Amino acid sequence: MANLGNPQETIAVLQKYNFQFQKKFGQNFLIDPHVLGKIVEAAQITKEDVVLEIGPGIGTMTQYLAESAKKVIAVEIDRNLIPILKDTLRYYDNIEIVNEDILKTDIEALSAANGGAKLKVVANLPYYITTPIMMSLLESHAPIASITVMIQKEVADRMQSGPGSKEYGSLSLGVQYYAKPELMANVPPNCFIPRPNVGSAVIHLSIYDAPPVAVKDEKLMFRLIRASFNQRRKTLQNGLNNSQELSFSKDLITEAIASLGVSPTVRGEQLSLAQFAALADYFTEHA
Ligand code: SAM
């Protein structure tokens, strides 16, 4: 039975090992059993599942995950946490602890070593590298079925917003090209030790087998998206003209925008993913 997850137990473990929190690793440990239960429920873990946990900390959520999953692979960067994890997780025989940076971890190999399982990623993510971690997981095309993570509330809002809203941007489109995001819970700062300065949220991403829109040149589409949101207040025409990453003529840009049937003064933040895909295809076919 999971025994961590309440403030007294966490403090006892931290004191036993004289553990010092490292700000550079974004360490805010969960101390709320209700929230831990919610994350595991949101991740829909069954005894068939191999779970990849990013940043297990002292193993609090790892215990909850190990109760529900076939196996948990827990990747932790901070080597000071490894002896603690070996202690707190000693009664479980279905947990593998890996002392590595998740950005350098070969996820494909982890899956292969586990019979090619489609992994379910679950994490209370370090907030300082949420976006790089999420985008590298998504862009890797590694065998991942879903990603259920605690992140900064503001970032969760950006991931699931659509055209016209002020949170909509490259991150929304980057995430929504690969996955269907769903906000599962809002979590206040007092559920963590130490308390973060921001509100948090649990978001669940179901990874698509194939992207929801077809595009001939994925990389070009993302260059167009970046160019459009680099200068949010400018028109799409100006954003694409001024981009260092693109070298299309002014006339071709005008034609491409007209091909969407939108106003010539449209701003990038008004375009949907399908429209960005159509824009990319226009350039691919006419450049
Ligand atoms: N899962 C624990 C919990 O919920 O209490 C800890 C969550 S804490 C927000 C983030 C964890 O990720 C820390 O244990 C930190 O050391 C670890 N971490 C930070 N950067 C990492 C990286 N690049 N790769 C793997 N783990 C990382």
Q: Are residues 82 and 34 in the same domain?
A: yes
Domain boundary among 207, 236, 258: 207
pLDDT of residue 91: 96
Does one domain contain both 201 and 243? no
Residues flanking ligand 1, CB < 6 Å? 25-30, 54-57, 60-61, 75-78, 81, 101-103, 124, 126, 129
Based on the fold, state whether residues 77 and 202 are members of the same structural domain. yes
Structural domains of the chain, count: 2
Question: How much is the pLDDT for 212?
Answer: 96
pLDDT of residue 137: 95
Nearest CA to ligand 1 atom 19: 25
72-85 pLDDT, tens per residue? 999 999 999 999 99
The Å distance, Cα 130 to ligand 1 centre, comes to 11
Distance 173 CA to ligand 1 centre (A): 26
pLDDT computed for residue 1 by the predictor? 53
- Summarize pLDDT for 256-269 with one digit per residue, the tens: 999 999 999 999 99
**According to the model, what pLDDT value does residue 157 have?**
97
DSSP-derived secondary structure letter, 208: P
Positions of the chain with pLDDT under 50 = none
Residue 219 burial class via C-beta count within 10 angstroms: exposed 0-12, middle 13-18, buried 19 and up: exposed
Q: Does one domain contain both 245 and 134?
A: no
Query: What pLDDT is attached to residue 2?
Result: 59
The residue whose CA has the least distance to atom 5 of ligand 1 is 29
Q: Do 84 and 105 reside in the same domain of the chain?
A: yes
Q: Which domain holds residue 113?
A: 7-207
Q: What pLDDT is attached to residue 232? A: 77
Question: What is the predicted pLDDT for the residue at 236?
Answer: 96
| CATH number, position 230 | 1.10.8.100
Q: Do residues 109 and 239 share a domain?
A: no
Q: What is the DSSP letter of 44?
A: T
Ligand 1 centroid to Cα of residue 26, in Å, is 7
170 and 48 assigned to the same domain? yes
My answer on whether 247 and 131 are in the same domain is no
Calculate how far, in angstroms, residue 78's C-alpha sits from the geometric centre of ligand 1: 8
Q: How far apart are alpha carbons 117 and 123 in whole angstroms?
A: 18
Q: Which atom in ligand 1 lies closest to the alpha carbon of residue 31?
A: 5
DSSP result, 251-284 = HHHHHHHHHTTS-TT--GGG--HHHHHHHHHHHH
Rounded to two decimals, what is the model's pTM?
0.94
Residue 78 Cα: closest atom of ligand 1: 16
| Structure token digits, residue 96 | 């593998």
